Structure 1
Amino acid sequence: MTSTLKSLRHLLLLTPLATACAPGPDVEASLPAAAVTHTTAMVVTANPIATSVGEEILSAGGTAVDAAIAIEAALSLVEPQSSGLGGGGFMVYYHAADQTLEVYDGRETAPSGAHSDMFLQEDGTVYGYLEAKNSGLSIGVPGMVSMLSMAHADRGHLPWGDLLQPAKKLAVEGFAVSPRLRSYFDKYGKRLVSTTVEQGPLDAYNYFFDDSGTLRDRIVNTDYADTLDLIANDPRDFYRGALAQSIVDAASQLPRAGSLSMQDLAQYSARKHDAICMDYRELTLCGPPPPSSWVAVGMALGMLEATDFPTADEMTNWAMFTEAQRLAYADRDHYVADDTVVEVPMAGLLNRDYLAQRAALINQPAIEKIFHGDPWAFEPQRTASLYGQDTTIDYAGTTHFVVVDQWGNAVSMTATVESIFGSTRMAGGMFLNNELTDFAKQPRDAEGVLVANHPAPGKRPRSSMSPTIVLNSDGSFRMATGSPGGNSIIAYTLKTLVGVIDWGLTPQEAVNLPNVVARGDTVRVESARASAEMLDAMREFGFTIKESAGENSGLSMILKHDDGRLEGGVDPRREGTIATIPVRNAAQQAMF
């Protein structure tokens, strides 16, 4: 091992990895939240119940897509602060038989009544965060069910309805409130939800608290069981009929009613895309196109490859890693939005000459002030769309999981309701997203120019979600990774890729590295996992450091070694677990 890698490993915490939180009595414990190496199928999620559900589906002969559907249906119930059927997400799928990649886009859309000033009050001031979040204004058309049913039609094996049964069983029999879910109320009390009708609907309060105002230890959700029954018969019934009407009614309630309509739901359809990819170190790394922000992951890697990264000095490596982030975030913040509504200079952003130009700015001391570049100069058509400066913040109500099935197919999926409990409004036993607050609430900059990510009818808000799949040079599967964490997703995901590919770490070691998030002129460093030497060296390099007491990452990774072994990594910052599933037999391996 080189001295550089030894030093990097010393940056890891010396404390043991966090073990999995014990599952409730409904679910058998599968495996502890530690690195697992085995020649099997594998599931890694941020919740032990969801991991167990994915394990159950793969053991029954399901594909990676089948497992993803069952996992997300369960997460909607047991991890409602992060994702659910009332939200959306992105799935990157690798099909082993023909070595192809597909992206399923279930990002929410703004209703037809949306407009650029929808988050401005009558006096022109922007709604406060909680006012905007906990409102009907923030609810976009949920895309999750449409996305999952589309992926199932293409790549599923077990019957659609069967995949919803584990979640239905949990909803009917009840599930224990997990330590992480409880921790939100321990930290914030009842401020997370409306407690009076003047603040908004009381759905969430009544769901979590009993008549005496005590947080429930166990939750039964028969409304959600009924929703699963409805869509088990036909997933299109999510977007029409009584369930759709209940979603519209929830969005239409005062205060701050939204404009979501039955027509908006009926017209929604998930989308299927080709992945966008970046070659890096003899590998090919791929993720979703806009409105996902995966392009920023590819840009940062392209900048690093244009330098002498990695170097023999680990602190120089951290500095270069940090500067590449800052430059990529600046371009992402300015240019990335729904590319069906605004022009996004994708060719320019990923152009090697452009990235080399940006990488040339990386030097000591740290760049004092970060600005976006001009990727339009590297676009084939050479015509620029000029946008205002965007300061949108997207929050961290998100989850990520990865699955590799017995046929070698893989899913990397990130899902969200945007912030904690989404809009806090409920329908059909589900929390409805507040995804439209991912648009720029201030739609114009100081010069009055519209920003790329302004709200508009039918538009998908920009997302930081960046589920990633890595391929070997021969097109075979190498790795799947990704994370929740709002704007920080880009940084978290990038860390794992650099950790494994460049620094030679295991998936678990890469996950355990301190999180370093460099968006703008302040660099946030997870001080609990960073050494004092690392913090001092980064300050000496010239960075303005903000020490973070905790980070909201929830990384899930699977790495496939050359001999076929799978190795997982899961984030000890959440409740994640890893499950391995024995391969059934050789004949079945040839089915899909």
Structure 2
Amino acid sequence: MRFTVATLSLAMLTACSDANNPAPDATSTTAPVASEVVAEPTQNNGWSLGYMAAVANPYATDAAVQMLERGGHAVDAAIAAHAVLGLVEPESSGLGGGGFMVVYEQASQNVRFLDGRETAPAGASPDMFMQDGEPAGFLDAWQSGKAIGVPGAVALYKLAHDNYGKLPWADLFAPAIRLANEGFEVSGKLAGYLPQMAQISRLDENPGAAEYFYPDGAPIQAGSMLRNPDYANTLQRIANEGPQAFYSGEIAEAMAASAQAGDNGGTMTIDDIAGYAAVEREAICGTWRVYNICSATPPSSGAMQIMIANLYDRLLPDNPSQQQQIRAFVDAQRLAYADRDYYFADPDHVTVPVQQLLNTQYLQHRGDNPAAPGATPQHGDPALVLGNDNAIRWAQDSTQEPAGTTHLSIVDSEGNAISATMTVEAAFGSGRWAAGFLLNNEMTDFARDYYADQPQAANMIRPGARPRSSMSPTIILDDDNKLFMVTGSPGGNSIPAYTAKSILGIVDWGMSVEDAVAFPNIIARGDTVRVEINREPGQTQADSLRAAGYDVQESDGENSGLHVILVTDDELVGAADPRREGSVSAGSVNP
């Protein structure tokens, strides 16, 4: 079946950006791809809805469209778009970070998960962020070389392209190379971060980053043209030589040297970098109503989308009011976050009981026993409820996860889809620079508290491990296993809440795609419920939840960056989050 919503006009499928910072004209500065090769069309599979790309910056959307217009796979478009995002949106993601891709193949109706999460260096240790018996402050940890994990983005590109790509590898980097060499217009989002970053970080002091973002000691301004020839050179080498140009030789040496530099340097070596591998995993899929929600398995938090949706139904009264719907959404989040925080980590290093947490009997038990509004939600114990496994005992989680990251949703002209969330963790990652890009601070996504005489946290720092992530790239299929929705968001620990809002808003709250994306964000993790009050009806929701006994924290703005594509009977309907500067572009490819 298909779920039909109000149609968006073409005028609404344009850049959603700050009114005081119009989106740049990407077509004026983005190069044509290097080759005129057009992908051979596959057999007619009944798909007639064309393509769509919803990406976090118009330059990157344009790069995706260039690949889609040539018949490229959604994966080709995603790689080209993200290579551009690393240039024009370096505060959110880039080559020095990693990410997750969930891919749907229309012909086979299969969904797969590609894991490009960064890994801890061999020299990492559980207590590396402890100082005098206490965890170091986040700012100190964030800006240190210890925070840098081995980047996974380029290996993820290659794994995805090997599995799904249709266009030549080198062609995917041509738009970003051209922009880096010729220059791009600095956005208000990028420029707006820089004055504050100079106050709270070392971005304006670190070699390379300081000269790039603060030429002559002053932050770059919105609307100015910025070139990055070092980034162009790095991409050109990756295009010509493949990932080995990144994971060995001069680029790897520059990354290791940057990570090790200074009094608070880290342990990442060229051997750590050379040993990195992206991983293909089974996607986690679970039924909800007539849909099949598919997302990324741990170390991602994608399973929370299945948990929240099913808990929501169990908490929802008959004929609910909007306030009752919101309260069910809040309580479902509180339960799902409590379980996620306690159990989720790298599945290659710990046992994560995902299937037990998604068991209908367990979810029913959790839904029958929600935390009282004024109480702290506690994790459940599926072993106790199901009686089929030994209980797992971990320390309570202490992980913090700042609101960074980027997301892109793409459907190609054959109905294949990708939901990809990419990151360098906090804004501008670690602030450390190498070969034209910033290095991540993903090691702060582990639990930084460590006491040798106390139980370990599931998400403890372990050499070679991938830190837990809130990133939740999600693809939803209908009851015929056909594509229904592509969604996801940046936003640190709030990502599961942002993404779930888009799903419930469209499916259950009767909203258009655009209205669901713009609806006030409500995040219910731990003791507080944070409500975005600068969007209607946010204040009403905050007041109602407070009256019901919840500890409400009012927020004047949220850092979501939802990019959503909905498949209707007649067309693709998309939206980019108005809180950021993303855009949506659609079209068709003639056979």
Using structure 2 for the length normalisation, give the TM-score. 0.90
Any conservation in 1 of the 2:50–2:414 contact (CA below 8 Å)?
no
Residue 393 of structure 2: SS of its match in structure 1?
Answer: coil
Could you tell me which of 211, 214, 221 is aligned with 1:209? 214
Report the alpha carbon displacement of residue 195 of structure 1 after superposing the two structures with TM: 4.2
Distance in 2 of aligned mates of 1:512 and 1:209: 33
Distance 1:374 1:161, change over 3 A: same
Any conservation in 2 of the 1:526–1:548 contact (CA below 8 Å)?
yes
Residue-by-residue CA offset, 1:158-215 (whole Å, 9 max, x unaligned): 101110010000110111210111111245555343445xxxx333221111125352
- The answer to which of 449-458 and 19-28 deviates more is 19-28
Report the alpha carbon displacement of residue 85 of structure 1 after superposing the two structures with TM: 1.0
Residue-by-residue CA offset, 1:541-578 (whole Å, 9 max, x unaligned): 11111100110000000000123x10001100000111
Alignment of 1:501-516 (within 5 A): 501-516=507-522
Residue 343 of structure 1: SS of its match in structure 2?
Answer: coil
Q: 1:202 corresponds to which letter in structure 2?
A: P
Matching residue of 1:126:
135
Matching residue of 2:560:
553
Report the alpha carbon displacement of residue 509 of structure 1 after superposing the two structures with TM: 1.0
Q: 1:440 corresponds to which letter in structure 2?
A: A
Report the alpha carbon displacement of residue 367 of structure 1 after superposing the two structures with TM: 5.2
Residue 247 of structure 1: SS of its match in structure 2?
Answer: helix
Any conservation in 2 of the 1:250–1:427 contact (CA below 8 Å)?
yes
- The answer to which of 498-507 and 201-210 deviates more is 201-210
Could you tell me which of 470, 485, 488 is aligned with 2:494? 488
Kindly report the root-mean-square deviation, in angstroms, between the aligned alpha carbons of the 2 structures. 2.2
Matching residue of 2:43:
none
Any conservation in 1 of the 2:16–2:583 contact (CA below 8 Å)?
no
Any conservation in 1 of the 2:316–2:328 contact (CA below 8 Å)?
no
Could you tell me which of 326, 329, 354 is aligned with 1:321? 329
Residue 211 of structure 1: SS of its match in structure 2?
Answer: helix
Matching residue of 1:499:
505
Distance in 2 of aligned mates of 1:163 and 1:40: 20
Distance in 2 of aligned mates of 1:408 and 1:568: 15
Matching residue of 2:10:
none
How many correspondences in the alignment?
Answer: 557
Matching residue of 1:87:
97
Matching residue of 2:33:
none
1:164 counterpart = 2:173:
yes
Distance 1:408 1:254, change over 3 A: same
Q: 2:472 corresponds to which letter in structure 1?
A: S
Report the alpha carbon displacement of residue 17 of structure 1 after superposing the two structures with TM: 7.3
Distance in 2 of aligned mates of 1:549 and 1:279: 35
Any conservation in 2 of the 1:444–1:451 contact (CA below 8 Å)?
no
Could you tell me which of 536, 550, 566 is aligned with 1:543? 550
- The answer to which of 400-409 and 288-297 deviates more is 288-297
Distance in 1 of aligned mates of 2:386 and 2:437: 43
Distance in 1 of aligned mates of 2:219 and 2:201: 15
Report the alpha carbon displacement of residue 112 of structure 1 after superposing the two structures with TM: 0.5
Any conservation in 1 of the 2:186–2:225 contact (CA below 8 Å)?
yes
1:180 counterpart = 2:189:
yes
Matching residue of 1:33:
none
Distance in 1 of aligned mates of 2:305 and 2:71: 34
Q: 2:548 corresponds to which letter in structure 1?
A: F
1:77 counterpart = 2:82:
no
Distance 1:491 1:26, change over 3 A: closer
Any conservation in 2 of the 1:398–1:415 contact (CA below 8 Å)?
yes
Report the alpha carbon displacement of residue 60 of structure 1 after superposing the two structures with TM: 2.0
Any conservation in 2 of the 1:133–1:437 contact (CA below 8 Å)?
yes
Matching residue of 1:101:
111
Report the alpha carbon displacement of residue 134 of structure 1 after superposing the two structures with TM: 1.0
Q: 2:482 corresponds to which letter in structure 1?
A: S
Distance in 1 of aligned mates of 2:451 and 2:286: 32
Any conservation in 2 of the 1:345–1:379 contact (CA below 8 Å)?
no
Any conservation in 1 of the 2:53–2:585 contact (CA below 8 Å)?
yes
Distance in 2 of aligned mates of 1:189 and 1:264: 31
Matching residue of 1:262:
270
Report the alpha carbon displacement of residue 383 of structure 1 after superposing the two structures with TM: 1.6
Distance 1:109 1:549, change over 3 A: same
Q: 2:395 corresponds to which letter in structure 1?
A: G
Report the alpha carbon displacement of residue 444 of structure 1 after superposing the two structures with TM: 4.4
Distance in 2 of aligned mates of 1:301 and 1:286: 12
Distance 1:54 1:194, change over 3 A: closer
Alignment of 1:556-571 (within 5 A): 556-563=563-570, 565-571=571-577
Report the alpha carbon displacement of residue 126 of structure 1 after superposing the two structures with TM: 1.7
- The answer to which of 388-397 and 476-485 deviates more is 388-397
Q: 1:61 corresponds to which letter in structure 2?
A: G
Alignment of 1:240-279 (within 5 A): 240-279=248-287
Unaligned runs of 5+ in 1: 6-15, 31-37, 586-592
Q: 1:479 corresponds to which letter in structure 2?
A: M
Report the alpha carbon displacement of residue 385 of structure 1 after superposing the two structures with TM: 2.4
Q: 1:299 corresponds to which letter in structure 2?
A: M
Residue-by-residue CA offset, 1:229-272 (whole Å, 9 max, x unaligned): 11112222211111111111111101211111111111111000
Matching residue of 1:9:
none
Distance in 1 of aligned mates of 2:311 and 2:445: 27
Using structure 1 for the length normalisation, give the TM-score. 0.90
Unaligned runs of 5+ in 2: 6-14, 31-47
1:527 counterpart = 2:533:
yes
Residue 263 of structure 1: SS of its match in structure 2?
Answer: helix
- The answer to which of 281-290 and 531-540 deviates more is 531-540
Distance 1:530 1:523, change over 3 A: farther
1:235 counterpart = 2:243:
yes
Residue 407 of structure 2: SS of its match in structure 1?
Answer: strand
Report the alpha carbon displacement of residue 70 of structure 1 after superposing the two structures with TM: 0.3
Residue 164 of structure 1: SS of its match in structure 2?
Answer: helix
Distance in 2 of aligned mates of 1:241 and 1:214: 32
Distance 1:367 1:158, change over 3 A: same
Q: 2:432 corresponds to which letter in structure 1?
A: R
Matching residue of 1:148:
157
Q: 1:469 corresponds to which letter in structure 2?
A: I
Report the alpha carbon displacement of residue 582 of structure 1 after superposing the two structures with TM: 2.0
Matching residue of 2:464:
458
Distance in 1 of aligned mates of 2:136 and 2:208: 22
Report the alpha carbon displacement of residue 379 of structure 1 after superposing the two structures with TM: 6.2
Distance in 2 of aligned mates of 1:96 and 1:83: 28
Any conservation in 2 of the 1:345–1:376 contact (CA below 8 Å)?
no
Report the alpha carbon displacement of residue 397 of structure 1 after superposing the two structures with TM: 1.8
Any conservation in 1 of the 2:156–2:278 contact (CA below 8 Å)?
yes
Could you tell me which of 382, 385, 390 is aligned with 1:383? 390
Report the alpha carbon displacement of residue 40 of structure 1 after superposing the two structures with TM: 2.4
Distance in 2 of aligned mates of 1:303 and 1:61: 40
Distance 1:515 1:472, change over 3 A: same
1:27 counterpart = 2:33:
no
Q: 1:49 corresponds to which letter in structure 2?
A: Y
Matching residue of 1:10:
none
Residue-by-residue CA offset, 1:267-323 (whole Å, 9 max, x unaligned): 111000111011011100010110001122211112123243574311011011001
Any conservation in 2 of the 1:348–1:377 contact (CA below 8 Å)?
no
- The answer to which of 204-213 and 169-178 deviates more is 204-213
Matching residue of 1:588:
none
Matching residue of 1:51:
61
Distance in 1 of aligned mates of 2:477 and 2:409: 15
Distance 1:52 1:520, change over 3 A: same
Distance in 1 of aligned mates of 2:17 and 2:150: 37
Any conservation in 1 of the 2:102–2:418 contact (CA below 8 Å)?
yes
Could you tell me which of 433, 449, 461 is aligned with 2:440? 433
Q: 1:177 corresponds to which letter in structure 2?
A: V
1:517 counterpart = 2:523:
yes
Alignment of 1:400-479 (within 5 A): 400-444=407-451, 448-479=454-485
Distance 1:214 1:535, change over 3 A: closer
Report the alpha carbon displacement of residue 380 of structure 1 after superposing the two structures with TM: 7.5
